[in-house]
Amino acid sequence: MQIIDLSKPIQYNPNDPWFMKVKVKHKPHGKARWLIRLLGLPFKLFPKGFTGWADDTITKMGVHATTHIDAPWHYAPTVAGKPAKTIDEMPLELCYGDGLVIDMEHKADFDPITVEDITGFLAEHHLEIKEGMIVLIKTGRDKFNGTKNFHKIGTGMSAEATEWLIEQGIKVMGIDSWGWDLPLPHMIKKAKASGNSELFWEAHLVGKDKEYYHMEQLVNLGALPYSGFKVAVFPLKIVGASAAPARVVAMLEQ
């Protein structure tokens, strides 16, 4: 079996905007030496060659700062009038399934992905969406992940395309752009210019009426075939959270 990592490294990056900054404090082995002594173990009783354990503390990391999966609670407090699930309430059976890549790398920045885009791709490559699959939208924008403009560029899903996937029985989907929608600054600009309040965050807000989960900031989708693999996406069990970092992997039988 070949396992392909679809998650970005969790580390400090000076190019990340303030809302994506991750800070990790690494504590070397020698630091714990004095803690153990303080707890009562004399140095002479330390095991031979033991200098203490290494330790690390995440001092700053938002749940949406790295490769993560959003829960329905992120989109709105309710789904179809019922309380929206937080990430710890995500059913585990949704976290593993057959994967399908939809290649939208040809789409220009700020050009939304439509139902016609998806159905046309499926027909061209003789692919079929089946209920329970985990659908991955490849835009190729992961090559900009870690750059200052990552959140300002790229394509994204339309509301209609998001709703269409849900109607096909897809509960979990993901993208290798910064976000599921078109870039946030672009959406704000378009909404202000047009005066249309329906333009902002339209794909996310499908979740007000239809329950679904989506991953953002995936990487390495270009290393996958379009079908014939499994996907695992298990989020951290953060109680009450709108999202959680996840180690997303694809598994291919060799």
Say yes or no to pLDDT of 41 above 90: no
Give the model's pLDDT for residue 254.
Answer: 80
Cβ–Cβ < 8 Å for 24, 59: yes
- Give the position of tokens 């309040």: 197
Beta strand spans in 104-227 (E): 134-138, 172-175, 213-216
Mean pLDDT, residues 125-139 taken together? 98
Give, in order, the Cα–Cα distances in Å from 166 to each of 12, 99, 144.
35, 15, 28
Say yes or no to pLDDT of 31 above 90: no
Give the model's pLDDT for residue 161.
Answer: 98
Give the model's pLDDT for residue 32.
Answer: 85
Give the model's pLDDT for residue 199.
Answer: 86
- Tokens describing residue 183: 């870039």
Cβ–Cβ < 8 Å for 241, 63: yes
Domain ranges of the chain: 5-9+63-252, 23-60
Say yes or no to pLDDT of 209 above 90: yes
CATH node for 5-9+63-252: 3.50.30.50
Q: How far apart are CA 176 and CA 140, in angstroms?
A: 7
Buried b / exposed e along 19-57 (16+ C-beta atoms within 10 A):
ebebeeeeeeeeebbeebeeeeeeeeeeeeeeebeeeee
Say yes or no to pLDDT of 229 above 90: yes
Percent of the chain with pLDDT over 90: 89
Give the model's pLDDT for residue 35.
Answer: 82
